[in-house]
Amino acid sequence: MSANPFKLLLSAPLKIATSPQRRAPILLLITTMLVTSCAGIGASPQNSESGPVRKWTDVLGAEKNSPGVNATVKETGRIRKEKYTEVTYRLIADGAPEDKTYDIYFYDLGKFSSNGGVAGPIPGVNPNGFNLHFHKMMRGEWVEVGFISQDKSVKGFVHFAPFPIEAFDKSCHVWLELIVPGRVFSVDGEGFVPGESVTTISTSGREKLSGELVVAEDGKLPVSIVIAGNVWKQYDANYTVEGRDCRVSVDYQWGRPSTEWQ
């Protein structure tokens, strides 16, 4: 195998896969093969570089909230530094019993380790109201925060992007997230008519690729994976979804501009 297993694919804004399931298996496969550490993140853990690299599900099990637990984040501030923006969130763990002690873990594009994996834990905390600080983030870069009680009986997860790549039209919402910085993106959507067929149009420079997706019964699109390349050496791209009631058009960049800190 060559050093870059996607060498032949990195030539156009191609959609290479769709899946109605969560993207975790795809993410773990691609990040394991391609992602290297490219920027820091200021999300609290002090010893995130130490210890063995572990997969997210190896640490916390299936990514599913315990019954009655709802994990969300609320942005509480943005401070512009010289070269990046620092964003602060408050973790909200509705339904998590306060008489328990929790450990908090982070997963973010494998950037806590050059091999990818899970950072943390931050031990012995109450997740409800816990402050999270992020900096040196790219557009579309996602982070997932998980907490689990030390007696293993309660857990919760929240997935978000401090600088989202997204667009809306009426009830419809489409967003892209980074998988491999500058190269590979996932595409999600929600708010479409259940069961309808929608047209997807992916463009970059002179390249244009159309496709069709069937909306799930919950109004969500199957997850798509797009790979951007440098045929025309233009970094501007667009992903559009046309449905019965809405047309959502998301502009984004690939290549070097997409790896710049926000």
At 128-150, the pLDDT tens digits run 888 988 888 899 998 888 888 98
Confirm if 207 and 12 have CB atoms less than 8 A apart.
yes
pLDDT value for 118: 60
Whether 155 and 97 have beta carbons less than 8 Å apart is answered as no
- Six-digit token pair at 195? 């069961």
Inter-residue contact 189 to 172 (CB < 8 Å): yes
pLDDT tens, N- to C-terminus, the chain (262 residues): 333 222 223 333 444 445 544 443 333 333 222 322 222 222 333 333 333 445 556 666 666 889 999 999 999 999 999 999 999 999 999 999 989 989 888 877 645 433 345 666 788 888 888 898 888 889 999 888 888 898 889 999 998 999 999 999 999 999 999 888 888 899 999 999 999 999 999 988 888 899 999 999 999 999 999 987 654 566 889 999 999 999 999 999 988 888 899 9
Antiparallel, parallel or unpaired: β 184-190 and 172-180: antiparallel
| Calpha distance 205→186 (Å, rounded) | 20
Kindly report whether the peptide bond that precedes residue 121 is cis, defined as omega within 30 degrees of 0. Answer: yes
pLDDT score for 107: 79
Q: Which domains does the chain have, with CATH numbers?
A: 14-33+164-259 (2.60.40), 36-160 (2.60.40)
CA distances 11 to 7, 34, 203, 232, Å, are: 8, 16, 12, 9
Dist. CA 119–CA 145, nearest whole Å: 10
Closest CA to 108 of 70, 63, 161: 161
The token pair at 239 is 């992903």
Write down the residue that tokens 């997706």 correspond to. Answer: 213
* pLDDT the model gives residue 49: 35
Name residue 18's amino acid.
T
Closest CA to 239 of 178, 176, 145: 176
- pLDDT recorded at residue 40: 25
Burial label, 1 (beta-carbon count in 10 A; 0-12, 13-18, 19+):
exposed
In tens, the pLDDT along 185-216 reads 999 999 999 999 999 999 888 888 999 999 99
What are the percentages of helix, strand and coil residues in the chain, rounded to 5?
10, 45, 50
Q: What is the pLDDT of residue 58?
A: 62
Q: What is the pLDDT of residue 202?
A: 92
Q: Other C-beta atoms within 10 Å of 195: how many?
A: 10
